[in-house]
Amino acid sequence: MKRILITGALGQIGSELTLKLREIYGADQVIATDIKKNDSEAVVGGPFETVDVMDVNKLMEIAKKYKVDTIMHLAALLSATAEANPIFAWKLNMGGLMNALETARELKAQFFTPSSIGAFGPSTPKIHTPQDTIMRPITMYGVNKVAGELLADYYYYKFGVDTRGLRFPGLISNVALPGGGTTDYAVEIYYEAVKKGKYTSYIAEGTYMDMMYMPDALRAIIDLMEADASKLKHRNSFNVTAMSIAPEDIAASIAMLVPGFELNYKVDPARQRIADSWPDSIDASAASEEWGFKYKYDLDKMTKDMIEKLRERL
């Protein structure tokens, strides 16, 4: 990677990935784009362009202007938001992906887009979900992710585009606020712990889902993109994870640093239905074997860092 264009650069992953890539490759080498503009470091700290990924001509124009050799396509609606507006989700998630892939094909650029555990469904094995398994999701977001994985594979086999991707679990960040995902409770709970000392979870007790701390997610993206292509048997997308946890596990970890922290429940049936269709735990051995994936943060180490960072800021 030398000159990188990021779509959705102001979103949950993009707002931190942009800064990390600029730190590694240089500020002028990472072009951030999004449909909106703000005064964040991703905007003011390097090249930024306002781009709607639904406009393929604009996307192509900006990519050619900066002579990019890598495209990281992050612009998308997340699970709960997509389920509330499925028609628009299909148009944005799939139309935007196709436009980004076409841009990568035109420029012969390396390409990354994230998938998700949302690609799995109720018929998927729930414990240690394999890399290659049944994928029959029951949400529009999940359908988008499965289709996106296949489409990215197609562009590799048909056109030779160097496409790569990760199936992310829930991502927990102390920088970016939740953006409409089913696992967002795992971010909100930390903010509420610091601000109020209590949290009401919309996900039921005992609901296990895979999670990962954002610093590990960013490193996984970079490591995959830098990996030797000849060693990749899979491309779109690798299972990655750091922990399988339920709301009460996070609460217990928080309580060690926030004495008296209180967790209550008011289950949201729509998001609980999505959570129940996903695995309890996934197997990331293919990522470990093919490009050396590893994580640094377990639950307690993540909780310590989250609480420290949020106390500084809030």
Token pair for 16: 């931190």
Give the strand pairing for 4-7 and 30-34.
parallel
Which residue in the list 141, 185, 199, 297 is annotated as catalytic? 141
Give the strand pairing for 243-245 and 209-213.
antiparallel
Angle, alpha carbons 154-237-74 (nearest 5°): 90
Query: How many Å apart are CA 109 and CA 103, to the nearest integer?
Result: 8
Query: How many Å apart are CA 188 and CA 215, to the nearest integer?
Result: 18
298-308 burial, b at 16+ Cβ within 10 Å, e below that, comes to ebeebbebbbe
- Contact (CB, 8 A) for 303 and 254: yes
Please choose, from the candidates 233, 253, 245, 237, the residue with its C-alpha nearest in 3D space to the C-alpha of residue 281. Answer: 245
Residue 265 falls in the annotated catalytic set = no
HSE of 163 in the Cβ direction (CA atoms, 13 Å)? 30
Token pair for 124: 């998927």
Tokens 């306002």 sit on residue: 50
Query: How many Å apart are CA 298 and CA 207, to the nearest integer?
Result: 18
Residues forming the active site? 141
